[in-house]
Amino acid sequence: MTIGTQIADIFRYPVKGLSAEPLDRVTLGTGEGLPGDRRFALAHGASRFDVENPGWQQRREFLVLAHEPRLAALQTGYDEATGVLTIRRDGQELFRESIEAPAGRAAADRFIAAQLGPDDRGPLRLVEAPGVMFTDMETKYVSILSLASAEELGTRLGAGIDIRRFRGNLVVEGLEPWQELDWPGRELRIGQARLRVVERIQRCAATNVNPDTAERDLNIPGFLVRRYRHADFGVYAKVVEGGAIATGDGLALA
């Protein structure tokens, strides 16, 4: 059944906690998340992340927006072909290095640490683990958000809501507000891919951070609970049949 929606935006987050990178199209793999999403993370000085035996770790081992709103001031991009990470602040490019090489990664560590300021836990490290996405859940999902839900939430809050606060992968338009919260257990066809919606996404304090100003200017989880009796925004979906998707692709709900 066609439900009259389409993909408005596709986002990935090359470094957990840092900014969104928009994409026009991407190819999803069966059982995988969005390619390149949360490939890297910033392990704080007290993190138990083991560089000799890297693997998925819970979010408390890394710098995240919920606790480090200053991360939002850094706009990042990552070129998979060259390994080059670029970092901008206020629109000005301040860092460009290949983080494939140890020297480049060490330079990224120093630069990001200088931007964030002192941390009593010790020096941060930009880390990765082959085949791992540093999402908040170990299982690889694609997250789906609705523009209509963000607009309705903003109306209730009396403030414009930038969809980037929710750090999702696929942003859809054309739904009724909150319609997507009824999708768990159902399947979606998007472009050449098929996804099964697994569960709602419960929100944390990361959504309180303005992606432009890096300030905590709203209490979105608290408002969701007071107004809607839940803290959910968006849904997780598992890719059950891989394929190419692009902005403008329609969605069909099975």
pLDDT digits (tens, 9 = 90+) for 191-221: 999 999 999 999 999 999 999 999 999 999 9
Please state, in angstroms and rounded to a whole number, the distance separating the CA atoms of residues 182 and 186: 9
What residues does CATH 2.40.33.20 cover in the chain? 2-33+137-253
pLDDT band at residue 4 under the 50/70/90 scheme: confident
- Beta-strand ranges (E) seen in the chain are 2-12, 21-23, 25-28, 40-43, 75-79, 84-89, 92-98, 125-128, 142-146, 170-173, 187-190, 193-202, 232-241, 243-246, 250-253
pLDDT band at residue 3 under the 50/70/90 scheme: low
The answer to whether residue 2 scores a pLDDT higher than 70 is no
Q: Identify the burial level of 247 via C-beta atoms within 10 angstroms of its C-beta, where 0-12 means exposed, 13-18 middle and 19 or more buried.
A: middle
Q: What is the mean pLDDT of residues 93-114?
A: 95
Contact by Cβ (8 Å): 220, 149: no
Residue found by looking up tokens 């059950």 in the block: 240
Averaged pLDDT score across all residues of the chain: 95
**Six-digit token string for 80:** 């998979």
pLDDT at 1: 42
Q: Are strands 187-190 and 250-253 parallel, antiparallel or unpaired?
A: antiparallel
Contact by Cβ (8 Å): 115, 89: yes
The amino acid present at 243, given as its one-letter code, is: G
Distances (CA, A) of 228 to 27, 150, 200, 233, 238: 35, 13, 14, 11, 26
199 φ, ψ (degrees, to nearest 5):
-165, 165
Among the four given CATH numbers 1.20.950.20, 2.40.33.20, 3.40.718.10, 3.30.1740.10, the one describing domain 2-33+137-253: 2.40.33.20
